[in-house]
Structure formats: C-alpha cells, structure tokens
Structure 1
Amino acid sequence: MASDQEALRKFLKGVVVRTQHFTHNTQYDNFLATITDLPPLNGHQEPTVSTVDFRMPGEQSTGRVSAYFNARHQRHYQANSTVFAVIIGGSTTFPADLLTIIPGQVIRNIKELPKGGIRDPRNNKTAIATRGRSLFHGPAAQGGAPEFEFGVGVEMLSVPVCLIETPKVRYRPRNPGGATRPFGNTAEPGVVQMQRAKYGSWDLRDMSFFRPAGEFNWTIIEYTLQGQDQPQCSMNEFNRFRNSLGAEMRRLGMPQQFVPLKVHKHQLPSANLPKHHEVEGLKDQFGIVRSSLENLPNTVHLLVVLLPQKDMELYSAIKRIGDQRLGLPTVCHVLTPEDDELKANSSPGFPANLSMKINLKADAKSVNQALAQKPGMLGEGTMILGIDVTHAVSQQSWVASMLTSLSGLQVYKRTSSTQENELDTIDGKKKSNEQVVLLQKMVVERLEGYRAVNGKLPLRLVVYRDGLSEGQFEMCKIHEFPRIEAAVDEVFGRQESQSGKRIPIVLICAVKRHHTRLFAESGKEEKTDNIIGKGPDNRGRYNFNPMPGTMVKDVITYGEGQDFFLISQKALIGTAHPTHYVILHNTTGFSRDEIAQATHHLCFLFGRSSGTVSVCPAAYYADLAADRARCYVRKFYVSAARGTWDPNCDQNHELNLAIHPRLREKMFYI
C-alpha cells in the first residue's frame, strides 16, 4: 500500500487545481492552488477525508477533514467516506472531490511514455497528414491557419537522402590473436560486426574495453529508509549483484578488487526522504551520507551506491561529497521493490552497462571503444569542444559547462562556470539569451590543458554548441564565437593571430528541439531500400524508421549549404527524431559532407553505451556535465525559501562548482 501511495503522490504533485468549495454568491472566493503532497497515513491504509485530521482554519484545535467540510461547506461525507484528501499550497488539507484540474497541463511523469511519443512511424505519418492538417487549418472555413495566410500541403515533402558510411568500431578482442565473430566475409579481431554496427546497436561478447582502467579497488554501500517495514536489499541479493558486476568487469578487462566492509548498510534519518524545502531533514541526510563516505577505507578508489528510491536531493548529496569533498568516483543504482524486498536490476546486459560507467570514472586514460579509422576532420591535432548551459528558470543563475577532448576522441574533460542570467527584450518580453559570458576563460583553460597532456597545442578546433534555438544563432555568432577566437589568440600568442595563422575553427550548433520528422515514402516493406531495415540478421521488428547515417541536406534545410539533418540512432519504438546541425563558422576547409561524416562517426563513441546516440557525444557530455553541476549548487536552484536568488549575496557560489583534484581529469560526470 505504501508504494501505491507514493506512486499516487508523485503523479499528483505539481498539478494545478481550482477549489470548488464555495458556491453561489461566494463562488468567486474559490482559488487556484498546486497539489504538493498527500497527508500522512497515521496508521490508516488510505488518506481519506474520514481518516485524516488537520488544524481547522481559524481554530486552535484539530479535527477530521470530513467533519469540517460538512459543517462549514454543507458537504455530506459519511464516516467511511472513500474520498481522498490532498495537500495543496504546501500546508492546506483539502478534499480531492472539491478540486478541479486546470486543463492543458503537461504530465511530468517521465516513466509514462506518451502515446504520441511511441506511435508507429506509419501511424504517425497518417495522423499528421489527416488529423494534423485539419487541426492546423481549424474547423471553420475562416478560422485557423488560413486566417494568417498559412497553408499546409496535402502531401508531405519528398526529400532526397544520403547514407553516411558506417564506421568500424573497435574494442580489444578477448583472446588476442584469435578471431572474433564473422565481420562480413572476414574475421577482424576486436571490431564490431558491420551488420550490427549498421543498425546502431551491438553487444560486447568476445570483446573487452579498448583501454581498460588501471588496477583499482571498489566497494558497495546501501542506504535504507528508517522503519521496520521498509524493504531492503537482502544479503543474497547483495552478493548476487556484487558477484555479477565483478565478473563482468573482469570479463571486460578491468583489473579490480572488491573491498568488503564491516557495515555496508546505512540507515537514513527518516522513513521518508526529505523534500527540498525541509532544511533540517536535508542537513541530517547530508550528515549521514558524509559520515558513511568519509569512513570508507582509504584503499577504496570507487564506490557503488544502492539507493532505496530515485531522489534528487539524496543523489545530489552523494555527488557533492564524492565529487567535491573526497575525490571519490561514485556510481548510483536505484533498487526496485519486488516481493517485499529491494532488488538490483537483473537484466543480462545491466552489469556491462554499469561497467561502462565504472571504466570511465575509475581512470583518466580509460577508453571503452574507438574508431578503427578516423575521418579527416577527426585526425591528429583535432580538439573537440562541447558547450551547454543549464538553468532552472529565467531569473536564476546559470551553470555553463564545456567538455573538451584532450587526447583522442573518447575522453572529455569538464570545465564549468556560473553566471548571472542576461535577459533580452523581445516583443516586449524579457527572455534569456543564454550566452556563455565566461567562454573565453573556459576555452583558455582547456587549451592549456590540451598542451599539458600532448606537449603541443591543437591544429584545429571542432566546437559543438548545444541548447540553442534558431533565434539564438546570431547571438552565438556575435557574442560567443569572438570569445572562442580571443581565447585562441590569448593562448597561441598575438603575433600568430596578426599574421593570419590562427588555427582553423568550425562552430556547429546541434538543435534537438524541433518538429521535423522523416518518414519512408512507402508503407510497404518491399518498396523500401537500405534506408529502412529490420535490424541485424533481418530478424528485428520492421518499424519503418530511417537507418543510422541517414542525412538530409536539401529541400528542408536553409538552402545555404551550411546545415543538415542527421539520424545517427536507430529508433526502436516511436518515430525517429533527427538532429539539426547548423554550421555557423568554418575555416577548416572541410565540406558539409565531411563534417556530417565526422559527426556521425563520433555518435558511435558515446562511452556509456554499446550503441549510437542521437546527438554528437561532445554536446551530450556537455549536457550531462551541466546537469551534474546543478547538483553542486542545488540549494540555489531549488531554494527552500521563495524569491529570486541574488549571486551578490553569496560570494562562494563559484567555489561550489570546484571539483576535487583527483577527479578533474576523469569523466566523473557520466
């Protein structure tokens, strides 16, 4: 029952409602509110109006919700009423049947896949061409799009596509000198079968990591909720998880040793995890996490943490202590309730997926997979930068993150900074312009890092800017790109810049939030070519999504030869979502096709996946690093008090992003 109540609480939290308890002449006294919680059960199975007590408005005493609303608002709740009570506005208990949900709200439960998001491509195509078109035009002859002189064609645009060659993805063969599974008509040790790589997904059988982490020690701790009835991970389940993970790491070539602990379970201060506004509860929880991590043996180099629930406050506490205070890489896994206990993920591929993260966090030089052959743009001397910005609301400070490849194309080092949000006035409204103000300083730091690792400066810069919309391209060109150039001039020296020897730079915006979709022209299997496929060995589900490597560079592009749509990931469910890459600056001499090829090849090198990703890893990693940085400054982003945070009131805010020296060169954020 407790788990059902928790699921209901999460589903209702944040829903905006209007009260309906005032009627007739007083109906205008009804008000808008937000559901924030469910009342405590207090020994009852369900929080109904007939079982929940609350402090009655205007009185010092408490009473039943049903009794109060029966007396004050002429309700007729019975003693055994099944109407639930909810908490609105943070403190007011209210009958659920006296609340009306405001329509048009977005369901924020990410665990529920929306039907539109997983619609078969053929059905989606039909819906857009029929219901979508009529909706756009409006029900009346004079309404909708025609009123604004907009029109929609009867048929979708037919666009030419190009197929980018699938790269060879290399691991280490498990038996050096021996052959792996067939690779076309030959056997090439350590290289993923082309038939599998073509579909953007492969397994690691007969493979080990390209460059495994050096020898390290690891251990596991579990956090439990307070209370005798709280489910926990049994010792048998703990040992099963430990053994399967250790065996998989050994199979993948990682020389590691498990460190047993006298106590691996640590009880959190309460039966319910504290929310962001419960300051004292958060302090107690932080203290438990800090003491449990600080008391680990000095011989532990990496920690796996088992969590009772998915909770951002608990996760942030672990990352702040591990990343910033102790320099201890941490990998968190949320246990799942099953048969009155908590269990780890038992799917066959899970230990390998977790091992990918561990390998990259345990060593600054570890690499999971590599390209057997690099396109020209990714050759020796190329430094890749990924830039992203994250913020909670438009009035708050931002965290800007930049990831750079210092050696090879797989390992990215992180630099973050904070800045005040700068607002532009557009159509009379204040809107964020999202520019990275401290970009010059960040690029200088990473260029110096490249020189420290390689003994020389890069020959070219490839910059992927994430998080921008079409209306922000000009800002990026006018404000951000000159800062990148200034950083290059500062590090290379003014004399080179003035003599026209500035290294070539290509600046590419990766746009994910758009509404362009690509569909097969034919809905019949026999009329499709290599652009659409069933999957490896022709045994997969034929879902009519484009294959990885499908590129469109005409008809739906800007027409200036500087942008393209690219699908790098095979969508297994739903409709594939191409990424729109826009080249804002290019002095490298590489063509749009060569840039697209390099971008597609990079999508095969995402470190925590044995498959391709939909956007270039440099941009993906920048997004992950920005999210991790928010964990460190969460008290500013999700403040317990109302009001806008003023950075001038907290001079230590910049220091809150500092990473422990032991982790600065590792991919701790992945």
Structure 2
Amino acid sequence: MASITEFVKRPGLGRLGRPVRVRANFFEVTALPDANIHHYDIDISPEVPPAMNRKIYKHFEALHSEKDLGKIKPVYDGRKNLYTAKPLPFGESAAFDVTLPEDDGTPSGKRPARAFKVKIKLVNKINMEELHRFLEGKGSISPNILTGIMALDILIRHKPSMEHATFGRSFFTKQGSRPLNGGVEVWQGYYQSARPTPKKMMINVDLSATAFYEGGSLVQMVVKMLNKRSVDDLRRIHDRDRTKLEKSLKNLKVYVTHRGENASKRRLRITKLTNTPASNTKFEVNGQQIDVATYFFNTYNKRLQYPFLPCVVVRKETYLPMEICNVVEGQRYMRKLNERQTADMIKFTCQPPSARANKISQGLQILDYRQNEYMQQFGLKVSTEMAVVQARVLPAPKLQYHPTSRDANFTPRDGSWNLRDKKVATGATLGSWACAVFGNERDYPMAAVQKFIRELVTTCQDTGMNIPNKNPPIQHCNPQGPIETSLRQVWVKAGNLAKSKPQLILCILPNTGVPLYAEIKRVSDTVIGVASQCIQGKHMFAAKKQYCANVCLKMNVKLGGMNSFIDPTQVPFITQRPTILMGADVTHPAPGAENTGRPSIAAVTASMDAKASRYAASIRVQTGRQEVISDLAEMVKELLKTFYQTCGRKPDRILFYRDGVSEGQFSIVLKDEVKAIKEACKSLDEKYKPTITFVIVQKRHHTRFFPMESKDADRTGNCQPGTVVESVITHPFEFDFYLQSHPGLQGTSRPTHYHVLLDENGFNSDSLQTLSYNLCYVFARCTRAVSLVPPVYYAHLVCARARFHASGENWSDPDTSEGAGGVASYAAVKAELLKVMYFM
C-alpha cells in the first residue's frame, strides 16, 4: 500500500514524564456536513477590495435570495469562492447585474450609482467522505480535502466577517477597545481556524489584537499624531512635522460633516496635504481665484475655526479643510508602532492564562456557533467546551558547570536557576581588550566607568573566566560618529597595550536607540572582525552583580568559552556517536513599500562539539521573500568542515531543526533542503552519507494551553516547563507535538510546535521530545530554559544581527525612516568570528 503521508507517521505516543490534563483552545466539531459541499467560483467585476466585495455580495444576496438562490444561504470568502450545502437552482452558471445605490450629495447633484457584474459558476463538488477517511488515518491528504477544510474555515467565518472588520483569519470588534498613543487604538479580535485532528475536526479559537485609526474628528487625530496638547499648538507646523503627517494620513478614508446625512456616507481617500493653510490655499471658481476659507464662508455660511491648518487633498484636486473631515472608523493601522504604542499594545494583549481562557470563552458567545443560520444549513455543529487534553510534564535534565563549582551538577527546578556558586564549564581568557564610551566625560565620568569595569572583571573571574588584563584602555567617543574611526582607534589602543591581537571591545551606549548599536555591530563584525559587548549607560552606573553575571555569560561564549552542558547520559543521541545539530531560519524584510528590494536573510547555525553547547554560524543574503534557502548546500558544507576541524571527526548523524515554514510549504522545503544537505555531504566525500532527521519548528500559531488544576501550574498560571502535548489537537497521524519548554514570565506562554518531516535516525516520541526539551536548558545567554531549541534560537539571532550589517540602512525611528530604497549591500561577517558565538 502506498504510504499515507510523504512525511513521518507518528511512532506511537510517548510515555515519559508525569501525566497532567490541560485545556487547549480547540473546540470539537460534533457534527460535520455529510453531503457534498458545492464550490462555486464567483467573479465580481470591476475588481475591488474584499471589504467592497462583501458589500456588493450582501446587496446581491438581498436582491436574489428568493428566486435565483432558492433561499439557499451560500458562504463567501470575500474574494473568489462561494460554498453551498445544496446546488443553486440556476444550474452550472449564471450572471447578474448589481447596482450599489450611492449618493454623495455633491453640489452638482448625485454621483452616478456604481454597477457591477457578478458571475457565478460551479467548479467542484467537495466529497466530505474523503475528509472523514483522512481524519481516521485511512487516506492521505488531497486537494479535495484541503478545499473541504477551507470551506469549513469560510463557513465559520462568513457571518462574523459580514458583520465586523476582518483581516486574515481574525475579525475585530470595537467593544473593549483601548486608545494607544498617537491617534491609534487597539481593538480586540478573535482568530478562528478549522484544524484536522485525530478522528475529528476542531476549531482553534484565540484572541488577537490589532491597531486601528481612531474614528471621529480628523483635527483631534492630527493633534495626537504630532503629540501636541491642543489645536493651538498647530498654528505653525514645522516642515518635518508636515512630512510626517502627510505620510501618516496618506490613503486614510474620511467623510465630510458639513453637508447633511447623504454626503457623510461617501468615503474619500486623502492623497496629500496642501503646503498652505486653508486661509491661503487658492483655487479657481468661475474664473476668479478664491481661498478655501472664504469659499466655505460664501458657500456654506461657515466660518472656519482653524483657517491656519493645511487642507487635505482628495480625488484629483479637491481641497477640504481638516475641521470638516471625520475619520472613517475601522481602518487598520498598517504602519510600525512606535516604542510607546508597542508598550501600550503589550499591556492590552498580555493576559494571564485564566483571563485569556475566559476571554476566549466569551468570544464563543460573539461567534455564536449555535445560532449561526449558515452553519445550521450545512449541518455543522461545534462544542462550546474547550478540549481537554492528556499531557505529560517531562523531567528537567541535569546541568553541569565547572567541576570546581560548589554546585557543579544539579537539576534545575521550575525551569530556572542562577550562577551563585557556579563557574562556567570552560572559561575563556581575556587578555587584550578596550572600552569605548559613547558619550562625553561629563556624563560618563572616568571613575564611574572604572568602577563598573572592576565589578565586571571581578564577576567574570568569580564565574570562571580568566582576565589577566584588568585595566583595559578607556576612550570616550562621539555617539554621533564617525563610529568606524572611533572603534578602529580603540582597537589599536587595546592591541598596543596588550601586545596582542584585541579580542573584545566593550561599548557603553547612551541610549537604547538602534542606529548607534547597529553601526557598532556592523563595524566590529564585518570591518574589524572583533567581538563587541554593548552595555547601556544606565546599567553601567548601577553596576549590579546579577547584571554583570549575565554580561559575563555572553562575553564568555563570544570569546570561545562554554557556559554549561547537559549531563552526557541524558542526551545519548548526541553523545553516543558524533552528531551535529543544525538550526536554520530565514527572515524576510517587513512588509511595506519602503522594503521593496531588501533581501531575505538565511542563517544556519550548527553545534561544534559532543556537548552541543558551542555553535558556529553561516549566513547568506537571498532574493526577497523566498522561503527555501537557496545556498544551503554551501552553508552546510562550511559548517561540516568547522565541525571536523573542531572534533577531528565527521558527524554520523544530522538533526536539522528548521524554523519559519508554513504548512503549505512543508513539501517543497523538505525536498529542496534535504537534497542540499545530501549534496553538501557528497561534495566532501563521495561515500559520506550521514543519517538525517528534519524537523520543522513553529512558534507562529494560535495553540495555547491552560492548566486545569492549580497544582499543575507555574507561578504565572501557565503550564509547567516540559509540558508536552501529542494527541487530540495534533495532526491526525503525522509525527508532530507541542512542547512548552520555558517557565512563564508574563501573559500566556506559547508552546512550540515541532513537526517531523523526515527521520532516518529512528527517533521514537520519547527520544525526540526529551532531547528537544533538554536542549532548551543550554541556551548560552541565560540561566533559564528557553521556549525553542537553541540551534534555531541562535539562527534567529544571527538573522537579526545580519540586518545590521547592511550599509546604507537607515535605522532611525519608524515615523521618519524612509529606508534606503534599492538593495542595501550586506557586508560579510569576518571568518574568525563565525566560529565563535559573536551574535550573542
């Protein structure tokens, strides 16, 4: 029999760990449609955005529901797809004319109504029997099943998306919204998605939140956007503010308030602002020049309150005074939030598990599956109780520090520990270094810098590093630049004083701003080729022991040391035979016009020793938005060579964790990337064929777990670190599991989803789950278990760092930065740094 999946089947359930029960935000589909679902293609022309499509469709349905639709209630995705429970009476296809009545009350009378053509044609009948077979594990996935699941997705979303603002798989309500700073507010949203699970379908329901422009007075919004107290502060608008404002308001929809009901229905898009105030913006009426303020007084007998504000321009050249404009509610704010808005947003979205679970249950009332006439018609029923899932809490591994530590090996409790009485496993030696202070003597006195360095050196030595040179040269540098010149000077000073090649530059920064940090990293990583350690000024003045200890962990690995490792008996997969762990990630430029031409960055990191604690990195820049790593063969080859140079052996086995791939791309990524890994091995030696396990790692999903009893929760109310879930809400038969490996800090923790696509190493559930969990304890820069396996975590960090290596990037605040346009050129990291963990 042909295999049921091209990936790996679940090799039975794991047994290790303490059994617990958790709730998951999944709701069981208790009745699925049995009959075929009819899939129609719907074409609305001329083309308009989904929100408009829905409006047209609503109008069409109201007109034709009796006769042409025979009282059948189709569900619509806002684009091209329509699904029905029974065939529509008109047969294979039909075309309709729909006219949207619209009156915009312009002085010249009515704006012509808009006419649309709606064509509907039957494309497919979805056989639901096949979906049942798949859920039972008796048949493999097929286009028919995927369409069936999509139809269910659209069925549960149809009603809310007709009634609320909808984006992606979430819809948003103004209920309980909160203002963010700057004319923006955050709305509560509900995400829902139909997911196949063992033997049944489930609906995954979660909270989401997104930023919207505040509705109402445009003038008030402008005051908030420019951070002013009142309109009076806008009598003189600076050029910089004007540019910022024009950027923020471009494409915003408004309606006018000075011409009665009908006019206020008409939505107008702002194209730009005038350079002149309303009292001085002139246009021609009957051959006469007249300014906007006078025109409004003459025409509407309305004296402008704020004639000093610029006008907004709509359509081709229509000038409107700001004060007669109101912002249309429910427009999503697409730009990057600034620091303050982000902080407010986090406050809004950050809720302990119990509160989140309650809000999800309230969301079910809004979704109201029971009373949904569309779902009734299809015969779809959904439980209102959250799924209860059997989970296990895996035991924590034993950690090892230097044998001379008082606490040399121990088992952490609750996912975190500290460095008291511990020395790092291998301490690096720091002989040649210097300190660059980005600020002047007055703000950063020599005495304070020296005091901090003393504290840092003492802590590093207590923690097992060796620092023969305790008085590095200190130089004050201008944070405004040129940074490269300053760092070169400091580097030379370090080398001259220690008579050896500098190993590290300690940098003290005046602020948390990105531009200075980015430039320091670009220069040290790609120009000079020296490790750098940045410190915020405020931390330098405080000089706390705990802070110094954390910095020490980062410095040690940047210099090639090793902080800790797992008891070798607890990671047999790594210790029994030479094994390399790899983690890969691709980050894409942020969406938005200013990022066209910016490339994607791919990074692979790989372990370098039998303890899987030290890693090397490889980086490539590739054409934008491409998910498959195009130069993977070369990257893997580089890393295998480094492994060989470090260990003197070629690895027998490769465990490859791959981040950031969505389900739709599993096949292509598996095919292309495993091929590349095999090619890399072959190019080193014709006969070299290590066994490969390829695992996808996902953090971007909406699965959340809630402990059912307080004794199974950690102190933040989240599930305990080590909680693993592999049934009820997972794939019907493939090898995937959720692992919550970290202790909660705030809000509701997000488990990591692991999905095995290829396994030549014969893992069973226990062995892969335990190994993945244990690895989360040796992330080098903190003393707590992290939420994702280190190889992938490091690959993330490498990608993030590489973004700073572009010349011509503009790292200023999101409101003003234009981005450099064009493709920025990325400098390569110096080879000697790639072998140590420079990215920490």
Shift of residue 139, structure 1, vs aligned partner: 11
Q: Secondary structure at the match of 1:463?
A: strand
Q: Which of 563, 572, 575 is 2:745 aligned to?
A: 572
Write the mapping of 1:150-169 to structure 2, written as runs, cut at 5 A: 152-169=382-399
Q: How does 1:83-94 map to 2 (within 5 A)?
A: none
CA spacing shift, 1:486–1:35, aligned 2, 3 Å: farther
> Could you tell me whether the CA contact under 8 Å between 2:706 and 2:719 is conserved in 1?
yes
CA distance in 2, matches of 1:610, 1:580: 23
2:435 aligned to which of 201, 209, 220? 220
- The 8 Å contact of residues 394 and 723 in structure 2, kept in 1 or not, is answered as yes
1:360 lines up with 2:562 in the alignment: no
Q: C-alpha separation between the residues in 1 aligned to 2:535 and 2:413?
A: 31
In the alignment, which residue of structure 2 is the partner of 1:190?
408
Q: Distance in 2 between matches of 1:344 and 1:481?
A: 50
- Kindly state the Cα deviation for residue 241 of structure 1 after the two structures are TM-superposed: 2.4
Match among 492, 513, 518 for residue 705 of structure 2:
518
Structure 1 residues 535-587: Cα deviation after superposition (integer angstroms, max 9, x where no partner): xxxxxx4x331111111111111132511110110103211211000011001
In structure 2, what is the equivalent of residue 88 of structure 1?
none
Matched with 2:589 is 392
Q: Spell out the pairing of 1:510-659 with structure 2 (5 A cutoff).
A: 510-522=697-709, 525=710, 528=711, 531-533=712-714, 541=715, 543-633=716-806, 635=808, 645=822, 653=825, 656-659=826-829
Q: For residues 69 and 335 of structure 1, what CA distance do their matches in structure 2 show? A: 49
1:248–1:556 Cα change, 3 Å: same
Tell me which amino acid in the other structure corresponds to 2:355.
N
Displacement of 1:154:
1.2
Q: Take 2:222 and 2:631, find their aligned partners in 1: how far apart are those partners?
A: 40
Tell me the equivalent position of 1:420: 623
Which TM-score applies when normalising by structure 2? 0.59
Asked if the contact 2:183/2:225 (under 8 Å) is kept, the reply is no
2:838 matched to 1:668? yes
Q: Distance in 2 between matches of 1:351 and 1:642?
A: 35
Task: Give CA deviations for 1:334-380 in whole Å, capped at 9, x if unaligned.
Answer: 334xxxxx96455542111111111111x22x110111233222224
Q: Indicate conservation of the 8 Å contact 2:184/2:213, yes or no.
A: no
Quote the residue 2:648 is aligned against: 455
Question: What residue is the counterpart of 1:410 in the other structure?
Answer: 613
Residues of 1 paired with 2:555 and 2:472: CA distance? 18
Deviation at 1:449, TM superposition (A): 1.7
> For residues 485 and 564 of structure 2, what CA distance do their matches in structure 1 show?
38
State the SS of the aligned residue for 1:545. Answer: coil
DSSP-derived class of the 1:296 partner: helix
Shift of 1:142: 3.6
Q: Give the TM-score, by structure 1 length.
A: 0.73
Match of 2:521 in 1: 319
1:49 correspondence with 2:234: yes
**Partner residue of 2:574 out of 352, 363, 378:** 378
**Aligned AA (1:405):** S
Q: Hey, what does 2:35 align to over in structure 1?
A: none
Letter in 2 for 1:204: L
Tell me, yes or no, if the aligned pair for 2:779 and 2:785 is still in contact at 8 Å: yes
Secondary structure, in 3 states, of the residue corresponding to 2:383?
A: coil
Q: CA deviation at 1:212?
A: 0.7
Change (3 A) 1:254 1:478: same
Question: How many Å separate the matches in 1 of 2:537 and 2:184?
Answer: 20
State the 1:312 CA deviation: 2.2
Q: Counterpart of 2:694?
A: 507
Q: Equivalent residue of 2:707, what SS?
A: coil
**1:259 paired to 2:482:** no
User: Take 2:348 and 2:833, find their aligned partners in 1: how far apart are those partners?
Assistant: 41
Tell me, in whole angstroms, the C-alpha distance in 2 between the residues paired with 1:63 and 1:243.
Answer: 57
Q: In 1, distance between residues paired with 2:580 and 2:424?
A: 23
User: Equivalent residues in 2 for 1:277-288 (5 A)?
Assistant: 285-287=482-484
Alignment partner, residue 244 of structure 1: 455
Identity of counterpart residues, as a percentage?
23
Aligned to 1:308: 510
**Which structure: greater strand fraction?**
2
Q: How does 1:483-498 map to 2 (within 5 A)?
A: 483-493=676-686, 496=687
For residues 149 and 368 of structure 1, the distance between their equivalents in structure 2, rounded to whole angstroms, comes to 58
Q: Distance in 1 between matches of 2:211 and 2:223?
A: 6
Q: Considering only aligned residues, what root-mean-square deviation do their CA atoms show, in Å?
A: 4.3
Relative to structure 1, the CA distance from residue 140 to residue 532 in structure 2 (aligned partners, 3 Å threshold; closer, same or farther) is closer
Moved more, 293-302 or 350-359: 293-302
How far the C-alpha of 1:253 sits from its partner, in A, is: 1.2
- Encode CA deviations 1:297-322: one digit per residue, 9 max, x unaligned: 31342122121222222212111111
Shift of 1:669: 0.7
Q: Is the 8 A contact 1:16 1:35 kept in 2?
A: no
User: Secondary structure of the residue that 1:161 maps to in structure 2?
Assistant: strand
2:810 and 2:723 map into 1 onto residues whose CA distance is: 39
Amino acid at match of 1:398: S
Map 1:61-140 → 2, pairs under 5 A: 73=293, 75-76=304-305, 100=327, 103-105=331-333, 107=337, 109=339, 110-112=342-344, 114-115=346-347, 117-129=349-361, 131-137=362-368
* Shift in CA distance, 124/455, structure 1 to aligned 2, threshold 3 Å: same
AA of the residue aligned to 1:384: L
Q: Tell me: CA distance 1:10–1:33, structure 2 relative to 1, closer, same or farther (3 Å).
A: closer
SS state at 1:160 partner: strand
CA change 1:11–1:161 in 2 (3 A) is same
**Deviation, structure 1 residue 160:** 1.1
1:577/1:393 Cα in 2 relative to 1: closer, same or farther (>3 Å)?
closer
In 1, Cα distance between equivalents of 2:333 and 2:349: 17
Tell me which residue corresponds to 1:273: none
| CA distance in 1 between partners of 2:761 and 2:183 (Å) | 50
Deviations 1:467-514 (A, max 9, x none): 112222122112212111221222231xx36xxxx2211111110011
Secondary structure (helix, strand or coil) at the match of 2:615 reads strand
User: How many residues were matched structurally?
Assistant: 557
SS at structure 2 position matched to 1:557: coil
Instruction: Flag structure 2 segments of 5+ consecutive residues without an equivalent.
Output: 1-179, 186-209, 244-273, 283-290, 294-302, 312-320
Could you say which residue in structure 2 is the equivalent of 1:280? none
Instruction: Indicate if the aligned counterparts of 1:390 and 1:398 stay in contact, CA closer than 8 A.
Output: yes
Kept in 2: contact 1:50–1:66 (CA 8 A):
no
- How far apart are the structure 2 equivalents of 1:643 and 1:234? 37
Residue 156 of structure 1 aligns with an amino acid whose one-letter code is M
Q: What residue ranges of structure 1 are gaps of 5+ in the alignment?
A: 1-6, 24-31, 86-93, 181-188, 270-283, 337-341, 422-431, 534-540
- Does structure 2 retain, via aligned residues, the 8 Å contact 1:241–1:344? yes
Q: CA deviation at 1:266?
A: 1.5
Q: 1:439 maps to which residue? A: 632
**The residue matched to 1:159 in structure 2 has which SS?**
strand
Deviation per residue, 1:64-89 (Å, 9 max, x gap): 9798799855643599xxx999xxxx
